[in-house]
Amino acid sequence: MRILIAALLGAMVLFLWEFVAHMLLPVGQMGMRLPQNENGVLQAIAMDLPNPGIYILPSLDPAKMNDASTVQAYKAKTASNPLAFVVVSSAGQDLTDMGQNLAGQFASDFLGAILAALVLGATAWGFGARVLGSAAFGVFGWLENIVPQWNWYRFPADFMVGNLIEQGVGWLLAGIAIAWWLGRRR
């Protein structure tokens, strides 16, 4: 029960921080831009990227990676065109109706906080070390999930910084709540 309460407190703090980062500060939108011709882009996506999925442009068919002329043409195309990483989902979703997304985010935060509380609760560390341990979880997640997006798909640097701030500060704050609860006398 001690771990679950610590995790619940940590998840609540993390969820509140994510609200602040996305709704009150520019942290959650760092690196995101608005298209100059949104309707044109949406029409092109509907026509040329009709199925939900992730598209990388310019693209190279993995089955043709051993064809030297195809690879050369791809290299030329990447040298003269921007790289686009496009996530396409089905039409008809009301992105202003965030109830399900918020519930999913809190569930994700709670599961992450359970893992953090389990690990931190198994240590003999004091308050400060547990807080730093929790912050390290956030930085670890960023290094293993977000940095590869920059490395492989060229996500913008300001997006990377925003995610580091969101994860590092979020798990630092969650760690304060978790460490406080775990350090209480029974």
Report whether 21 contacts 28 (CB < 8 A): yes
Residue-level pLDDT at 61: 93
Q: State yes or no: pLDDT of 97 exceeds 90.
A: no
Report whether 116 contacts 138 (CB < 8 A): no
Report whether 59 contacts 73 (CB < 8 A): no
Residue-level pLDDT at 33: 92
| Arithmetic mean of pLDDT, 164-185 | 95
Query: Cis omega (within 30 of 0) on the bond before 52?
Result: no
Residue-level pLDDT at 95: 81
Residue-level pLDDT at 186: 62
What is 29-80 written as a DSSP string?
Answer: GTT----TTHHHHHHHHHHH--SSEEEEES---GGGTT-HHHHHHHHHHHHH
Q: How far apart are CA 7 and CA 172, in angstroms?
A: 13
Which has the minimum average pLDDT: 5-14, 21-30, 88-97, 122-131?
88-97
Q: How far apart are CA 91 and CA 125, in angstroms?
A: 49
> Is 12 exposed, middle or buried (CB count within 10 Å of its CB: 0-12, 13-18, 19+)?
middle
Using DSSP, state whether 86 is helix, strand or coil. strand
Residue-level pLDDT at 160: 95
| Arithmetic mean of pLDDT, 4-13 | 97
Q: How far apart are CA 170 and CA 166, in angstroms?
A: 6
Q: How far apart are CA 132 and CA 138, in angstroms?
A: 10
In this structure, what are the phi and psi dihedrals at residue 88, rounded to the nearest 5 degrees?
Answer: -115, 130
| Residues 98-115: tens digit of each pLDDT | 889 999 999 999 999 999
Q: How far apart are CA 99 and CA 90, in angstroms?
A: 18
| Residues 148-163: tens digit of each pLDDT | 999 998 899 999 999 9
Look up the pTM and report it.
0.85
Residue 132 tokens read as 């730093």
From residue 59, alpha-carbon distances to 35, 63, 71, 85 in Å are 21, 12, 10, 10
Mean pLDDT taken over the chain:
94
